[in-house]
Structure 1
Amino acid sequence: MDWVEKYRPQRLQDVVGNSGAVRQMYEWARDWSRQKKPLVLYGKPGIGKTSSAHALANDMNWEVVELNASDQRTKSALERVAGAGSTTASLSGATRKLILLDEADNLHGQADRGGAKAIVEIIAAARQPIILIANDYYALSRDLKAATEPVQFRALQARSIVPRLRQICAAERMACDPVALDEIANRAGGDMRAAVNMLYAAAIGKEHLTAEDLHTSAKDERSTIFELVGGAYKGLRDADLLRMAVQVEDTPDAVEQWLEGSIDHMPDSASRAKGYACLSRADEFIGRTYRRQYYTLWRYASAIMLIGVADAAGAHGVHGRILPPARWQKMGTSKKQKAVRGGLARKLSGMTHIPEDALREDFFTAISIIVEQDPATYVREFQLDADELALLIHDRAMATKVVKDVAKEEKAKEKKISGKEKPSGKGRKTRDNDPPGDDSGDVQQDLPPGQATLF
Structure 2
Amino acid sequence: MGGGESIASDWTERFRPTSSNDLEGNVAARKQIISWLESWKKGTPEKRGLLLTGPPGIGKTSIVRATAQDFGWVVIELNASDARNAASIRKAAGGGTMNFTFSLDGTFDLKGNKKTLILLDEVDHLHGGLREISDSRIVDSISTSRGINNSNNELKGDSGGKAELLKMLKTTTQPIIMTCNEPMGLWGRRNPNWRGARDRFLRQAKLIQFYRADKTSMLKIAKKIIKSENITADALALDKLVSVNPGDIRALVRDLQIMCEGGVKHIDLPLVTEQISRGLRDQQLDIFPGLQELYQCNSAKEASEIGRDMEITPRELVAWVSWNNSSVFDTRETLRRSAITCSIADQSLHTMYSNNAYRSWYWSGQLASLSASISSLEQRQNRYSLSYPEILRRTSEPTRRRSLINKLSNLSGTSMQTTREELWPTLAAIHESDIFTHPNDFTLSLDYGLDGDEHIILHGLKKNLKSTKEIIKKYNENAEKISAKPEIVTVIHDDIENEHQQKKIDDSQTKLDLF
Does residue 107 (structure 1) correspond to residue 152 (structure 2)? The answer is: no
1:152 aligned partner, one-letter code: Q
The answer to whether the Cα contact below 8 Å between 1:275 and 1:312 also exists between their aligned partners in 2 is no
Distance in 2 of aligned mates of 1:54 and 1:140: 22
The answer to whether the Cα contact below 8 Å between 2:17 and 2:23 also exists between their aligned partners in 1 is yes
Aligned counterpart, 2:169? 123
The answer to whether the Cα contact below 8 Å between 2:234 and 2:269 also exists between their aligned partners in 1 is yes
Distance in 1 of aligned mates of 2:255 and 2:476: 37
Aligned counterpart, 1:41? 52
The answer to whether the Cα contact below 8 Å between 1:74 and 1:114 also exists between their aligned partners in 2 is yes
Aligned counterpart, 1:254? 426
The equivalent position to 2:86 in structure 1, one of 63, 75, 78, is 75
The equivalent position to 2:206 in structure 1, one of 130, 139, 149, is 149
Does residue 20 (structure 1) correspond to residue 28 (structure 2)? The answer is: yes
Distance in 2 of aligned mates of 1:14 and 1:311: 57
1:26 aligned partner, one-letter code: I
Distance in 2 of aligned mates of 1:122 and 1:327: 37
2:257 aligned partner, one-letter code: Y
Aligned counterpart, 1:211? 269
Aligned counterpart, 1:448? none
2:45 aligned partner, one-letter code: Q
The answer to whether the Cα contact below 8 Å between 1:176 and 1:210 also exists between their aligned partners in 2 is yes
- Residues 1:225 and 1:20: Cα distance change in structure 2 (over 3 Å): farther
Aligned residues: CA RMSD:
4.2
2:99 aligned partner, one-letter code: A
Aligned counterpart, 1:231? 400
Aligned counterpart, 2:193? none
Does residue 183 (structure 1) correspond to residue 240 (structure 2)? The answer is: yes
Shift of 1:31: 2.6
SS in 2 for 1:213: helix
Range with bigger deviation, 39-48 or 144-153: 144-153
The equivalent position to 2:76 in structure 1, one of 40, 65, 69, is 65
Structure 1 or 2, whichever has the larger Rg, is 1
The answer to whether the Cα contact below 8 Å between 1:86 and 1:122 also exists between their aligned partners in 2 is no
1:28 aligned partner, one-letter code: W
The answer to whether the Cα contact below 8 Å between 2:54 and 2:210 also exists between their aligned partners in 1 is yes
The equivalent position to 2:63 in structure 1, one of 52, 66, 69, is 52
Does residue 192 (structure 1) correspond to residue 249 (structure 2)? The answer is: yes
Shift of 1:111: 2.5
Distance in 1 of aligned mates of 2:118 and 2:267: 41
Distance in 1 of aligned mates of 2:123 and 2:61: 12
Q: Deviations over 1:31-52 (max 9, x none)?
A: 3132342111110011110000
- Residues 1:162 and 1:150: Cα distance change in structure 2 (over 3 Å): same
Identity of aligned residues (%): 28
Unpaired runs of 5+ residues, structure 2, are 1-8, 102-107, 129-155, 188-197, 285-391, 406-419, 432-441, 451-455, 480-510
Shift of 1:89: 3.4
5 Å-filtered alignment, 1:4-403, equals 4-32=12-40, 33-37=43-47, 38-80=49-91, 82-91=92-101, 92-93=108-109, 95-108=114-127, 111-141=157-187, 142=198, 143-204=200-261, 205-218=263-276, 219-221=281-283, 231-232=400-401, 234=403, 254-256=426-428, 274-275=446-447, 302-303=459-460
1:47 aligned partner, one-letter code: I
Distance in 2 of aligned mates of 1:153 and 1:310: 42
| Structure with greater contact order relative to length (CA < 8 Å, sep ≥ 6) | 2
The answer to whether the Cα contact below 8 Å between 1:103 and 1:134 also exists between their aligned partners in 2 is yes
User: Structure 1 length normalisation: TM-score?
Assistant: 0.53
- Residues 1:126 and 1:166: Cα distance change in structure 2 (over 3 Å): same
Distance in 2 of aligned mates of 1:13 and 1:217: 30
SS in 2 for 1:31: helix
- Residues 1:65 and 1:313: Cα distance change in structure 2 (over 3 Å): farther
User: Structure 2 length normalisation: TM-score?
Assistant: 0.47
Distance in 2 of aligned mates of 1:164 and 1:105: 28
1:79 aligned partner, one-letter code: R
The answer to whether the Cα contact below 8 Å between 1:63 and 1:90 also exists between their aligned partners in 2 is no
- Residues 1:249 and 1:327: Cα distance change in structure 2 (over 3 Å): closer
Q: Deviations over 1:129-183 (max 9, x none)?
A: 1100011123332122332101111111122211221111111111111111111
Unpaired runs of 5+ residues, structure 1, are 237-247, 260-269, 279-298, 317-324, 332-455
The answer to whether the Cα contact below 8 Å between 1:99 and 1:128 also exists between their aligned partners in 2 is yes
The answer to whether the Cα contact below 8 Å between 1:17 and 1:156 also exists between their aligned partners in 2 is yes
The answer to whether the Cα contact below 8 Å between 1:86 and 1:129 also exists between their aligned partners in 2 is no
SS in 2 for 1:98: strand
Q: Deviations over 1:105-137 (max 9, x none)?
A: 111158323211110011122111110001112
Q: Deviations over 1:190-232 (max 9, x none)?
A: 1011111111111122111111112453344468998767733
- Residues 1:199 and 1:138: Cα distance change in structure 2 (over 3 Å): same
1:145 aligned partner, one-letter code: L
